[in-house]
């Protein structure tokens, strides 16, 4: 990547925006200039990038003049309002919200899976739980053709933002101290608990989070015939999402073949030595870029199916890092 870019981060003061800023610096992304944008109440804050203090500006429709790449890490409403303005100003928008993911004219991209879909305009970043799953699924789908996926997610509270992290911290203190527990972010206590409820319930009995995994997986893998049966659960961990995945393929598949296949695939680290208690853990994935896969084993009930366990940092690969990796592809 030889060119340098004028970059903006919309939603720079939020958890994902801050992570984007950090990863731009970590990966030495070729930034010519950096514009940090947020709501009026956050404007004026100072943030650091490569030792330089940058003042956060208020996000407006005129914020993107002269910008090449606009990274959006605010909510869907903000993206719908301001992303078209950024494109009209000449920027490529990489949007982390759900606003454009299922728009037929907007590519939904995970670089290890479908970098070929990247093009100017708006590029959507998938949902965090979908990203880590499709990174693991892509090599399997290419070789064996996936027919059906049964996935259960175990998702960290950081996926709900800073308020959820604070709530888990406070509830944990209250439980251990014998004090009454108050739930504000979630409908029930999350500390020392599991909630089979992420986002709103839909008429079909599934949550919006679960249906994201169905629809986004098909779009990213470019195969509407893939069947997906999801259950999304919020658990009392702070960072990194974990997933139990069963995959049925068109051709007979073996765990040993899949293990070898994944070891040679980009963005994946295989941790699979159960005899030594070695398998992916949420605490080990925190702060790491790769998707971790382990407990790869044959399905005892079906010779055309396997089971495995997938873990990734939801704020890095599940959000900020994936967006930066898309930006890196623009210069290739």
Q: Which positions are annotated as active-site residues?
A: 128, 241
Other C-beta atoms closer than 10 Å to the C-beta of 225 total 10
Residue owning tokens 């068109």: 250
Cα distance between the two ends of the chain: 6
Encoded tokens for 300: 């005892």
Which contiguous run of DSSP H or E holds residue 200?
none
Q: Give the CA radius of gyration of the chain.
A: 20
Other C-beta atoms closer than 10 Å to the C-beta of 199 total 17
Which contiguous run of DSSP H or E holds residue 296?
strand 291-298
Q: Which residues pair with 195 in a beta bridge?
A: 234
| H-helix segments, 205-320 | 208-221, 255-263, 282-285
């Amino acid at each position: 990547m030889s060119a340098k870019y004028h970059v903006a981060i919309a939603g720079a003061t939020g958890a994902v925006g801050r992570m984007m800023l950090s990863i731009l610096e970590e990966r030495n992304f070729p930034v010519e200039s950096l514009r940090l944008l947020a709501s009026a109440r956050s404007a004026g804050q100072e943030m650091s990038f490569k030792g330089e203090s940058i003042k956060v500006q208020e996000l407006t429709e005129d914020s993107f003049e002269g910008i090449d790449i606009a990274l959006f890490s605010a909510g869907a409403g903000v993206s719908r309002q301001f992303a078209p303005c950024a494109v009209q100003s000449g920027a490529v928008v990489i949007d982390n919200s759900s606003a454009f993911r299922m728009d037929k004219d907007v590519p939904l991209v995970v670089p290890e899976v479908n970098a070929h879909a990247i093009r100017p305009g708006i590029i959507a970043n998938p949902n965090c739980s979908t990203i880590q799953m499709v990174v693991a699924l892509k090599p399997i789908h290419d070789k064996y053709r996936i027919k059906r996926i049964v996935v259960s997610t175990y998702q960290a509270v950081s996926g709900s933002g800073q308020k959820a992290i604070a709530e888990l911290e406070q509830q944990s203190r209250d439980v251990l101290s014998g004090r009454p527990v108050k739930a504000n972010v979630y409908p029930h206590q999350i500390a020392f608990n599991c909630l089979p409820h992420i986002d709103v319930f839909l008429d079909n009995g599934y949550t919006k989070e679960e249906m994201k995994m169905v629809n986004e997986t098909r779009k990213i893998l470019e195969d509407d015939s893939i069947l997906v049966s999801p259950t999304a659960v919020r658990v009392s961990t702070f960072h990194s999402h974990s997933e139990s995945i069963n995959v049925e393929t068109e051709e007979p598949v073996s765990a040993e073949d899949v293990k070898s296949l994944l070891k040679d695939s980009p963005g994946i680290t295989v941790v699979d030595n159960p005899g030594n208690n070695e398998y992916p853990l949420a605490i080990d994935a925190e702060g790491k870029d790769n998707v971790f896969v382990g407990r790869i084993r044959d399905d005892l009930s079906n010779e055309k199916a396997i089971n495995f366990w997938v873990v990734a940092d939801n704020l890095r690969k599940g959000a900020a890092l994936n967006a930066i990796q898309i930006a890196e592809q623009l210069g290739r």
